[in-house]
Chains A and B, each alone.
Chain A
Amino acid sequence: MIGLQIRDGTKVYPGTIALKSVDFDLHMGAVNVLVGENGAGKSTMMKVIAGVEQLTEGQILLDGSPVTFHGTDDAARHGIGIVFQELNLFPNMTVAENIFIGREKLRGGIDIDAEAQRRETRALMRRLEQEIDPDTPVGELRVGQQQIVEIAKSLAQDARILILDEPTSALSAAEVEILFRVIADLKRNGVGIVYISHRLEELIRIGDHITVLRDGCITGTRSMEGVDVAWIVRHMIGEASKDFAKEIEHPFGEEVFRAEDVCLPRAGGGLAVDHVSLSLRAGEILGVYGLMGAGRSELLECIIGKHRHAKGRYFVNGQPLLARDVAARIARGIALIPEDRKNDGLVQILAIRENMSLSSLGDFTRLFHMDLAAERARVRDFVERLRIKIASTEHAVSSLSGGNQQKVVIGKALMTKPRVLLMDEPSRGIDIGAKAEVFRTMRRLAAEGLGIVFVTSDLDEVLSLSDRILVMSNGRITAEYPRAEATETGLISASATGHNHPREPAE
Chain B
Amino acid sequence: MMTATAPRQAGSGNLLLLLLKLRTFIALIAVFAFFAFAAPNFLSAANFVIMSKHVALNAFLAIGMTFVIISGGIDLSVGSIVGLCGMVAGWLILYGIDLGLGWSVQFNTIEICLIVILVGVAVGAVNGLLITRLNVAPFIATLGTLYVARGAAMLSSDGRTFPNLNGNPEYGSDTFRLIGTGNLLGIPISIWLLICVGLMAAYIANRTPLGRHIYAVGGNERGAALSGVKVNRVKMFVYMFSGFCAALVGLIISSQLVAAHPATGETFELNAIAAAVLGGTSMSGGRGRILGTIVGAFVIGVLSDGLVMMGVSSFWQTVIKGLVIIAAVVIDQAQQRLQARVALQAQAATA
Contacts and interface: CB of A to CB of B under 8 A. Distances in A.
A391 B347 contact: yes
A284 interface: no
A354 B347 contact: no
Contacts of B230: 325, 327
B340 A398 contact: yes
B226 A336 contact: yes
A450 interface: no
B346 A395 contact: yes
B228 A330 contact: yes
Interface stretch (B191-199, B205-213, B241-249): B205-213
Contacts of A359: 227-228
A348 B219 contact: yes
A345 interface: yes
Contacts of A372: 207
B207 A369 contact: yes
Interface in B198-233: 207-210, 212-213, 215-216, 219-220, 222-230
A106 interface: no
Interface in A323-349: 325-327, 329-331, 336, 338, 343-349
A272 B337 CA distance: 42
Given A343-B220, A347-B223, A358-B229, A399 B343 contact: yes
Contacts of B351: 389, 401
Nearest to B230: A327
A354 B215 contact: yes
A365 B228 contact: no
Contacts of A354: 212, 215-216
Nearest to B339: A396
A347 B234 CA distance: 16
A338 B220 CA distance: 14
A378 to B, nearest CB: 14
Contacts of A358: 212, 216, 224, 227-229
- Which of B210, B216, B282 has the most chain A CB atoms inside 10 A of its CB? B216
Contacts of B227: 326, 330, 358-359, 412
B15 to A, nearest CB: 17
A126 interface: no
A370 B208 contact: yes
B350 interface: yes
Residue of A336, A344, A346, A361 with most chain B CB atoms under a 10 A cut-off: A361
Given A343-B220, A348-B220, A359-B228, A399 B215 contact: no
B326 interface: no
Given A327-B228, A399-B340, A412-B227, A365 B346 contact: no
Interface residues of A, number: 41
Interface in A367-411: 368-370, 372, 389-392, 395-396, 398-401
Contacts of B349: 391
Interface in B328-351: 339-340, 343-344, 346-347, 349-351
Nearest to A412: B227
A372 B205 CA distance: 13
A454 to B, nearest CB: 17
Interface residues of B, number: 31
A365 B213 CA distance: 13
Contacts of B346: 391-392, 395, 399
Nearest to A345: B223
A494 to B, nearest CB: 29
B150 interface: no
Interface in B257-316: 282, 286-287
A338 B229 CA distance: 15
Contacts of B282: 349
| Dominant secondary structure at the B interface | helix
Contacts, number: 101
A424 B208 CA distance: 31
Task: From A331, A346, A354, A358, name the one whose CB has the most chain B CB atoms within 10 angstroms.
Answer: A358
A318 interface: no
Given A390-B350, A391-B349, A399-B344, A347 B219 contact: yes
Nearest to A369: B207
Contact of A350 (B209, B215, B340): B215
A306 interface: yes
Contacts of A327: 228-230
A476 B229 CA distance: 30
A343 B225 CA distance: 11
B286 A350 contact: yes
Nearest to B204: A368
Contacts of B287: 349
A330 B226 CA distance: 9
A347 B215 contact: yes
A426 to B, nearest CB: 15
A50 to B, nearest CB: 30
A328 B308 CA distance: 56
Contacts of B229: 327, 358
A304 interface: yes
Nearest to B207: A370
A362 interface: yes
B129 to A, nearest CB: 18
B70 to A, nearest CB: 10
Contacts of B210: 368
Determine which residue in A338, A350, A390 has the highest number of CB atoms from chain B within 10 A of its CB, and name it.
Answer: A350
Given A325-B230, A358-B229, A390 B347 contact: yes
Contacts of A338: 223, 226
A412 B228 CA distance: 11
Contact of B226 (A304, A396, A398): A304
B343 A365 contact: no
A336 B230 CA distance: 16
A422 to B, nearest CB: 11
A331 B228 CA distance: 9
Contacts of B340: 396, 398-399
B209 A343 contact: no
Contacts of A331: 228
Contacts of A390: 347, 350
Contact of A306 (B212, B225, B286): B225
B347 A347 contact: no
A345 B227 CA distance: 8
23 contacts: A306-B225, A306-B226, A327-B230, A329-B228, A331-B228, A336-B226, A343-B220, A344-B226, A347-B220, A350-B215, A350-B286, A354-B212, A358-B227, A368-B209, A368-B210, A389-B351, A390-B347, A395-B346, A396-B339, A399-B344, A399-B347, A412-B227, A416-B228
Interface of B: 207-210, 212-213, 215-216, 219-220, 222-230, 282, 286-287, 339-340, 343-344, 346-347, 349-351
Given A358-B227, A395-B347, A412-B227, 17 more contacts: A325-B230, A343-B222, A344-B222, A346-B220, A347-B216, A347-B223, A349-B219, A349-B286, A350-B219, A354-B215, A358-B229, A365-B208, A365-B209, A368-B208, A370-B209, A390-B347, A391-B346
